[in-house]
Chain A
Amino acid sequence: AQSVTQLDSHVSVSEGTPVLLRCNYSSSYSPSLFWYVQHPNKGLQLLLKYTSAATLVKGINGFEAEFKKSETSFHLTKPSAHMSDAAEYFCVVLRGSQGNLIFGKGTKLSVKP
Chain B
Amino acid sequence: DGGITQSPKYLFRKEGQNVTLSCEQNLNHDAMYWYRQDPGQGLRLIYYSQIVNDFQKGDIAEGYSVSREKKESFPLTVTSAQKNPTAFYLCASRWGSNTEAFFGQGTRLTVV
Contact = CB atoms under 8 A, between A and B. Distances in A.
B30 to A, nearest CB: 12
Contacts, number: 60
Contact of B105 (A34, A42, A49, A51): A42
Nearest to A32: B98
A43 B48 contact: no
B101 to A, nearest CB: 6
A106 B42 contact: yes
Nearest to A52: B98
Contacts of B16: none
Interface in A8-44: 9, 32, 34, 36, 41-44
A99 interface: yes
Interface string A49-83: 10100000000000000000000000000000000
A104 B103 CA distance: 16
B contact face: mostly helix, strand, loop, or mixed: strand
A44 B89 CA distance: 12
B43 interface: yes
B42 A9 contact: no
Interface residues of A, number: 23
B41 A105 contact: yes
Interface of B: 4, 6, 33, 35, 40-45, 48, 50, 56, 58, 88, 90, 92, 94, 96-106, 108
21 contacts: A32-B98, A36-B103, A41-B106, A43-B104, A43-B105, A43-B106, A44-B92, A46-B102, A94-B97, A97-B97, A98-B48, A99-B94, A99-B96, A99-B98, A101-B33, A101-B45, A101-B92, A103-B35, A103-B43, A103-B44, A105-B40
